[in-house]
Amino acid sequence: MKKVKHILTAIWLFITNLWNKVDKIVEKFAPLAIEVVETIKTINDSTTGDIIEKILNKVIPGSDLPIVEIRARLRTILPAIIMKLNLSSEIAKLPDANSQLKAILAAINMSPNEARNAYYHALAAMILEALSDKKLTWSEAVQIAEYYYTNIYKKK
């Protein structure tokens, strides 16, 4: 029982330390990233985007550059990126690590299945890597997490 408690404590400390590092990065760069993405979205949705599209089509005649498709894809993905950046920024502003971690887990659980699976997969690999005192590489940790999930956890 002591070993399980030690492992859980180590996992909790790892997650808390990881978030504290990320917290500083998010506070510093999220506003800038939000501004950049908002600017790209504004340009893409404006007549300026139309002009850039026309210029690129004239400068690169007959190219396979799918400018119309790129702009349509940007219209789809940029709002989601802005939402995620705003969410990250809001979580970083929460006063303590416990409330931040709860908000992170809530955000992950509300994510699409593919994103949620990727977050949990990466988190499992980071925890394994940290618990091994860096004796495992990132690649090994990913492989172990995947093996455990596929061959042990899912078969329960």
pLDDT at 6: 66
pLDDT of 1 > 60? The answer is: no
Under the banding of pLDDT at 50, 70 and 90, the label for residue 59 is: confident
Give the per-residue pLDDT at 154. Answer: 81
Print burial letters for 3-30: b (CB count within 10 Å at least 16), e (below 16).
eeeeeeeebeebbeeebeeebeebeeeb
Q: Is the pLDDT assigned to residue 103 strictly greater than 70?
A: yes
Percent of the chain with pLDDT over 90: 0
Full-model pTM: 0.51
Confidence of residue 141 (pLDDT cuts 50, 70, 90): confident
**High-pLDDT (> 70) share of the chain, %:** 80
Residue owning tokens 């550059």: 65
pLDDT at 114 over 80: yes
What's 42-84 look like in SS3?
HHHCCHHHHHHHHHHHHHCCCCCCCHHHHHHHHHHHHHHHHHH
> What is the CA 126 to chain-centroid distance, rounded?
14
pLDDT, position 22: 64
pLDDT (tens digit, 9 = 90+) per residue, 77-95? 888 888 888 888 888 888 8
CA–CA separation, 95 and 20 (whole Å):
11
pLDDT beyond 80 at 145: yes
The pLDDT tens digits for 3-54 are 666 666 676 667 666 666 666 776 777 777 778 888 888 888 888 888 877 7
Please give the pLDDT value at position 20.
64
Rounded to 5°, the CA angle 109-24-78 comes to 55
